[in-house]
Amino acid sequence: MRKKSTKKLTITAIIAAYNEQKNIRVVASLLTSMKEFSEVIVVDDGSDDLTAVIAASVKGVTVISLPKNMGKTTAVRTAVKAAHSDQIMLVDADLFGLEAHHLREVIQTYKQGFEMVILDYGNQELYLRKIFKSFPALSGVRIFETKYFKRITFKKNDRFELETRINDFYLDHKLSIVVVTGEGIHTPHKYQKYSFHKGLYLEAKALKEIFLSNGPRNIGKLVKRWWEINAKRLPEEQP
């Protein structure tokens, strides 16, 4: 049985950002305006634009700059090592429509005793929406305990496999997961954020690494786990 949290949570919000100068101020400012977060860390993942400069201009933000683009997994792991809180909230840098009430719902749900809460939002690839209706398994907004994250086994060359590794750890250890829906939130596709050809290349690269994260023989298991995550909603949110 889950036990509701009675102690005050300490939460570090982490944003891994690569060439996000257009939106980083909006997301970082939202997080620093919320008293729920003890600290806000932005990891500039080798950007060649003004992401780091703009993030550093937001009062209350700690910026860590990586010397080159290392991928989201390394960026987040770097931030977790620097975090001082018992809980971690991951937040994507490119979210539009994200508001404080969305994040507060995630935190309040987490306080009910779940060990990870994932925020589901829209704008997934068309074929994924057709198959899964929504796709929280790869959502970049989630809260969990720092101590659990530090126990996850990552591979040396992991870049886009972050959410898959987290999902696997929580499912393998039978830790409680729940999904809440964030209405009105969306994230642009990479071909909308960058040049068309670069965006398509990055999306194809990301999907390839995600699907092959545990080897080609385990693609079936990966998809099955996506279904498992998709089904972990609060009863009132079940379709």
The chain-wide mean pLDDT, for the chain, equals 86
Is residue 153 one of the residues assigned to a domain? yes
Is residue 3 one of the residues assigned to a domain? no
Q: What percent of the chain has pLDDT over 90?
A: 62
Q: Give the type of residue at 116.
A: M
pTM higher than 0.95 for the full model? Answer: no
Is residue 17 one of the residues assigned to a domain? yes
Question: Residue 78: which residues within 8 A CB-CB, separation 6 or more?
Answer: 43, 64, 66
Q: What is the pLDDT of residue 88?
A: 98
Is residue 131 one of the residues assigned to a domain? yes
Number of structural domains (the chain) is 1
More confident residue, 24 or 160: 24
Reported as a single tens digit per residue, the pLDDT across 156-208 is 889 888 999 999 999 999 999 999 988 888 776 554 565 656 656 666 666 66
Q: Give the type of residue at 124.
A: Q
- C-alpha 171/C-alpha 166 separation (Å) is 9
Contact assessment for residue 62 and residue 42, using Cβ atoms and an 8 Å cutoff? yes
Residue with tokens 């997301």: 27
- Lowest-pLDDT choice from 1-5, 34-38, 57-61, 91-95: 1-5
Is residue 204 one of the residues assigned to a domain? yes
- C-alpha 32/C-alpha 109 separation (Å) is 21
Domain coverage including residue 19: 11-237
Instruction: At 237, list the tokens.
Output: 């949110």
- C-alpha 61/C-alpha 235 separation (Å) is 36
Is residue 5 one of the residues assigned to a domain? no
**Nearest 10 degrees: CA dihedral of 217, 76, 93, 214?**
0
Is residue 6 one of the residues assigned to a domain? no
- C-alpha 78/C-alpha 108 separation (Å) is 27
**Between the ranges 1-10, 36-45, 132-141, where is the mean pLDDT highest?**
36-45
Would you say how long the chain is, in residues? 239
Q: What is the pLDDT of residue 210?
A: 63
CATH code where residue 113 lies = 3.90.550.10
Supply φ then ψ for residue 44, to 5 degrees.
-85, 110
Q: Could you tell me where the DSSP H helices lie in 133-189? A: 146-149, 162-172
Is residue 179 one of the residues assigned to a domain? yes
pLDDT tops 90 at residue 128: no
pLDDT tops 70 at residue 122: no
